Amino acid sequence: EYGIVRPKGYNVTFHTNPEMEKHHFGQTHPMKPWRLTLSKSLIMSYGMPFAMDNYIARAANFEELNNYHTQDYLDYLGTVLPEPVPRDVESANPDLKFNLGGSDCPLFEGLYDYCSMSAGGSLDAARKVCNREADIAISWGGGLHHAKKAEASGFCYINDIVLAILQLLRCYPRVLYIDIDVHHGDGVEEAFFSTDRVMTCSFHKYDPCNFFPGTGALEDNGPKNEMNAGAHHAVNVPLNDGITDDQYAWLFDSVIGKIVETFRPSAIALQCGADSLAGDRLGRFNLQVQGHGQCVAYCKKLGLPMILFGGGGYTPRNVARAWSWETAISLQCEDKIDKTIPEHTPWREHFRQEELLPSLEQILGEARPNKNPQKRIQEIVQHVHEQLRFVQH
Ligand code: TV1
Ligand code: CA
Ligand code: ZN
């Protein structure tokens, strides 16, 4: 009804699991699976599902999760029960098994199902991209980039991205992983540390003492031993508070442009964490829906098969805006959709700001001062160019 038609000669697949959205990390926990419901309802109200193939993902099974995670970690994850009284932020227990049950990674009802559904969506997306049934496959329920082989970390229990990239590596020689979540994509970097078939590139707020996870310095570029195939295959773009759309877009295009030229990826995995938007409850950046989406638009123009993952995003109405806009970019219907949110959208009032009509672009939250001098931004690009002189595929 909004005249959104399938892009010609080009297919987008959309992977969700409504059961996943019903889980709760706890009353005050910033991670709200409900943001996925809000995002999907906005995407639906624009009529976008008519222009893509929609799949309800099945949960990943033990064997699939075991392609990366260890058996003892998965066994424990599958059997632990929620605590009767959830721990609060203050009383952190120092000796948690597999880092489970603290305030960041609480044990909640249906935890194993939640994790296996998130991974299932991303694995389905990877399979569609492998089969060439999708040019772009979308898994907004995935993107949980901090999870380790045998440890939960930073709201992440199962690393669906690592599992999806392992699937892509069965059909593509080289995969480029890009991470625009405000946090460092440490789990994915670690998983592919010693291979030259995956290059990882994370843009993030970096402050080793005061911002999670504290890793991802400009000079951290993979194994220091030149004999290790993974040497120079980790790109890190450490940033400060308040970066704007213009600066970010210039950085993104310069860095990714150079990576594509030297690494020559055959597929892209793009983590679209929406906590890099202005006004995010945990974030520090000043990106607008436009600037965040520009990264997706840039990658799409490269014409490589691609998976889009979700990730962080703690102001649900802004998450829904960004991921709806990025779904529209994937469908090449940016120009056809009305920036005023459609009348029949559920929770439409939730998107209204003051007297203004509810808009797709106008995000909640005020601007933070920009603490990224242009000189530093140029230094970063210079460093990445020098690093990539060691990479030739
Ligand atoms: C319960 C209730 C948990 C309120 C956690 C913010 C909470 C945070 C909470 C929180 C919070 C973090 C740390 C400190 C490590 C800890 C999905 C030494 C108001 C991908 C994960 C951030 C980001 C973890 C995940 C971080 C992602 N920040 N309120 N916890 N300890 N943890 O700093 O990258 O977005 O904040
Ligand atoms: Ca990042
Ligand atoms: Zn994050």
Domain ranges of the chain: 12-388
Lookup result for tokens 């906005």 = 42
Give CA–CA dist 91/106, Å, rounded: 13
| Closest ligand 1 atom number to CA of residue 145 | 20
pLDDT at 1 over 70: no
Sign for the pseudo-dihedral over CA of 162, 163, 169, 175:
negative
User: Could you tell me if the CB of 282 is within 6 A of ligand 1?
Assistant: yes
Catalytic (active-site) positions: 146
Give the pLDDT of residue 353.
86
In the structure, what pLDDT confidence band is assigned to residue 355 with cuts at 50, 70 and 90? confident
Give the pLDDT of residue 367.
83
Give CA–CA dist 122/104, Å, rounded: 22
Give the pLDDT of residue 99.
97
In the structure, what pLDDT confidence band is assigned to residue 90 with cuts at 50, 70 and 90? very low
pLDDT at 82 over 80: no
Give CA–CA dist 293/298, Å, rounded: 9
pLDDT at 47 over 90: yes
Give per-residue pLDDT as tens, 370-379.
999 999 999 9
The hierarchical CATH code for the domain 12-388 is 3.40.800.20
Give the pLDDT of residue 80.
79
Of 276, 188, 273, the closest CA to residue 233 belongs to: 188
pLDDT at 95 over 70: no
Q: Whose CA is nearest to atom 18 of ligand 1?
A: 212
**Chain-wide mean pLDDT for the chain?**
95
Strands 234-239 and 175-179, bridge-based pairing: unpaired
Give per-residue pLDDT as tens, 153-173.
999 999 999 999 999 999 999
pLDDT at 296 over 50: yes
Give per-residue pLDDT as tens, 203-234.
999 999 999 999 999 999 999 999 999 999 99
Task: Return the higher-pLDDT residue of 196 and 88.
Answer: 196
Ligand 1 mean position to 208 CA, how many Å?
15
The best mutation among 151, 155, 206 to test binding of ligand 1, ranked by most ligand atoms within 8 Å of the C-beta, falls on 155
User: Could you tell me if the CB of 104 is within 6 A of ligand 1?
Assistant: yes
Give the pLDDT of residue 112.
97
Ligand 3 mean position to 10 CA, how many Å?
31
Give the pLDDT of residue 84.
61
Give CA–CA dist 89/390, Å, rounded: 44
Q: For 97-123, what is the mean pLDDT?
A: 97
Give the burial class of 228: count Cβ atoms within 10 A of its Cβ; 0-12 exposed, 13-18 middle, 19 or more buried. middle
Give CA–CA dist 232/208, Å, rounded: 21
| Closest ligand 1 atom number to CA of residue 211 | 33
Q: For 231-254, what is the mean pLDDT?
A: 98
* Closest ligand to Cα 270: 2
User: Could you tell me if the CB of 154 is within 6 A of ligand 1?
Assistant: yes
Q: For 67-96, what is the mean pLDDT?
A: 78
User: Could you tell me if the CB of 179 is within 6 A of ligand 1?
Assistant: no
pLDDT at 88 over 80: no
Give per-residue pLDDT as tens, 12-26.
999 999 999 999 999
Three-state secondary structure of 307-327: EEECCCCCCHHHHHHHHHHHH
User: Could you tell me if the CB of 319 is within 6 A of ligand 1?
Assistant: no
